[in-house]
Amino acid sequence: MRKDGRPDHIEDALRHMHNGQWFGWSDSKNKIYANLIIYSKIWNISYTGNEHEEGMIDNPYSKPTEKECTDKLKKLQDEWDSKNA
Amino acid sequence: MAQTKLNATLGMSGNLPALNGSAITNLTSGNLSGNLPALNGSALTNLTSGLSEADTWRLNTSLNVSTGQASLTANWERDDTFANGLLGTGMSESSGVFTFPSTGFWQVVGNISFINDNGGNQAKYLGVAIEVTTNNSSYSEATNSYNSNAPESSSIYSFARTSKILDVTDTANIKVKLMYLVQQDFAVSGNSSRNVTYLQFTKLGDT
């Protein structure tokens, strides 16, 4: 993401698909689709009133296709451009 | 005959014997004058350096978060850019749990950078907490610190930072995690080049 907030990377698209740490990179210095990894377990918190429980659960999210990532990024960019025109 | 008083103006010559420092136990400061000789570092022994451990770990991937709180359990990496400094052994990390390499007094600094790239409503709090366990099982919020932001139509940045000095007497049971606490949907910022959300560990001394 640029400093002005305009999305410019598929990581921006991925984090807008689902909340939490459901994905990562096999090479954090080279964040390309080929290096995208989806974790088998993720940290989860469930709330009941003021109480909460947390722990690892199976990751309910699957790996998006590369096209889904680029389409999502394009959508976010269009939204940002429209809002900041 | 035992000599109890020598007169320096009469009949004294030659060199004094070498003085043994261990035999000098009491000097009266009023009788001392002049400058101290230069100290030679190689002659100084039994000195220990002040710090033996310093390490920084950072989140390398951003994530969106919804209202609530959670530990950051993935995507941690050791700072490895821009002349990063790792002093000593360093921490070990597994699923966001950080283990100390040795007992001692440790300072832990936690920082979380937040961003809402589309702007939005006011977040009354954007917080960070250092969670500590003393039994390698249940964690408590040992510290927390909060920031907030006004409603904005464009991207919003914020951060929260907190710190704690721990007396780590048992490395198997005393461990830490980093937690975010947010009142609005926001993003926690991660980066693999720069430290934006990070934990910094410095060993201050032995326990």
Two structure tokens written together for B35: 């400058």
**Interchain contact, A7 vs B61, CB within 8 Å:** no
Nearest to B74 among A11, A19, A21 (CB): A21
Question: Which residue in A28, A31, A45, A81 has the most chain B C-beta atoms within 10 A of its own C-beta, making it the best mutation to test that interface?
Answer: A28
Question: Which residue in B66, B75, B180, B194 has the most chain A C-beta atoms within 10 A of its own C-beta, making it the best mutation to test that interface?
Answer: B75
**Interchain contact, B192 vs A79, CB within 8 Å:** no
∠B6-B10-B16 over CA atoms, to 5°? 60
3-state DSSP assignment of residue A67 = helix
pLDDT bucket at B136, cuts 50 / 70 / 90: very high
Task: Evaluate if residue B27 carries a pLDDT over 70.
Answer: no
CA nearest neighbour of B110 among B188, B193, B4, B10: B188
Residue A35 to chain B, least CA–CA distance (Å): 13
Chain B residues whose CB is inside 8 A of the A15 CB are: 62-64, 187
Residue ranges and CATH numbers for the domains of chain B are 1-50 (no CATH), 54-205 (2.60.120.40)
| B187: nearest CA partner in chain A | A15
Residues, chain A: 85
pLDDT bucket at B21, cuts 50 / 70 / 90: low
Task: Evaluate if residue A53 carries a pLDDT over 90.
Answer: no
Average pLDDT of every residue of chain A: 91
Residue type present at position A4: D
pLDDT bucket at A14, cuts 50 / 70 / 90: very high
Q: What is the ipTM of this complex?
A: 0.86
The pLDDT score that the predictor gives to residue B47 is 66
> pLDDT tens digit string along B103-121?
999 999 999 999 987 777 7
